[in-house]
Amino acid sequence: AQKITQTQPGMFVQEKEAVTLDCTYDTSDPSYGLFWYKQPSSGEMIFLIYQGSYDQQNATEGRYSLNFQKARKSANLVISASQLGDSAMYFCAMRPTSGTYKYIFGTGTRLKVLA
């Protein structure tokens, strides 16, 4: 079955340190896309980063990078130099099959950045 697993319900990180949020996925499809979203307390979902299953290099967007390990079916989000504004809920999502828009979301990880 298609599934996204985020095993860390909550995490703390000290300001200016790096943090890794875990995401594993399960699909038998050769073509898929992986996304990370941030949801601050205000409720809006903000797109952070995308990785396609055929992309050769790990995606990076500013302080965000995606550690994509295809064989292990993991797509961990790395946030470098954490800031207080990074405190939020983070969701990993997968677009599992070519031609479908039925994205699958994980249960999320709540990150708290400490001053």
- Selected from 19, 21, 35, 111, the binder of other proteins by CB under 8 A is 35
**By the rule CB under 8 A, 7 interacts with other proteins:** no
- Selected from 7, 103, 112, 114, the binder of other proteins by CB under 8 A is 103
Q: How many residues bind other proteins (CB under 8 A)?
A: 24
How far is residue 57 from each of residues 43, 53, 70, 86, measured CA to CA in Å?
31, 10, 11, 25
**By the rule CB under 8 A, 56 interacts with other proteins:** no
- Selected from 65, 75, 95, 111, the binder of other proteins by CB under 8 A is 95
Reference 2, options 67, 101, 95, 91; nearest CA is 95
Query: From CA 107, how far away is CA 9, in angstroms rounded?
Result: 8
Closest to other proteins by CB, 45 vs 84, is 45
DSSP three-state, residue 17: coil
